[in-house]
Amino acid sequence: MYISCFSKFLIALIATGTAFSGSVVASSSNEKDLGQLFRHYGSDKDINGYTSVYHALFNSLKNEPVKMLEIGIGTMIPGAHSSMVGYARPGYKPGGSLRAWRDYFVNGSIYGIDIQEDTQFHDEARIETYLCYSNDKTEVEALMGHLGDMKFDIIIDDGSHFDMDQMKTLSHFYPYLKDGGIYIIEDIYPGSTLTTMPSVLSSFCHNDPYFFVGIHNNICVIFKNHLKRDGAPYSY
């Protein structure tokens, strides 16, 4: 079972404190380069340094029927909260990273939510988009009811980058992450409550293990697999 193998990998990763750096190197000529996919679709994830992290976490799942949710599709409305205007790369249109994930997970189903109308499209294979405000528990529950209360293998929060919003989003969507799944919070700003007082995460993820990667454009990775014993609190 792929989630079982993934769980073992993440346990080892957390235990060893593995650091991520450098560029992604394809293991064969047929393997898709995730960084190239991000750049092809105009996403800023590669230039933000996320590709190596995601390649390390997800490469073993590329051919599995994963269900991924990305929160924040990437509006191009000037002045809108978390707009991609000024950040999008050449060739971008809303949903760039969804398309990259769809091509990377060749058997996966990709879901995206946002609050802006220009992010919605319904004519591309294996991608579904919905309007939903992740801070609103009622809206989240309505959406998940529409989706049959499905559970996701991977959830990435690339919506609002304010810490209070990130914590609300985590509390609302974490119940819809499969056991053994991965929840990622992108773009945690310097001085965020999540990094200055990371213990706040425990109340949202029920003491499941987590770690941070990077300083600028910091990522938090949460592994939904409760430790058999309580370890020392996260610290630098």
Which conformational region is residue 49 in: left (phi greater than 0), alpha (psi within -120 to 50 degrees), or beta? left
Q: Which of 158, 137, 151 is nearest to 224 (CA)?
A: 151
Q: Which of 55, 81, 161, 226 is catalytic?
A: 161
The residues near 97 (Cβ < 8 Å, ≥ 6 apart) are 38, 41, 43, 45, 70, 74, 158
Beta-bridge partner residues of 112: 70, 129
> Would you give the end-to-end CA distance of the chain in angstroms?
34
Q: How far apart are CA 20 and CA 174, in angstroms?
A: 25
Q: How far is CA 147 from the centre of its chain?
A: 19
Report the alpha-carbon distance of residue 228 to residue 83 in Å, rounded.
41
The residues with which 152 forms a beta bridge, in sequence order, are 177
Instruction: Establish whether 146 is a catalytic residue.
Output: no
Query: Which residues are catalytic, by number?
Result: 161
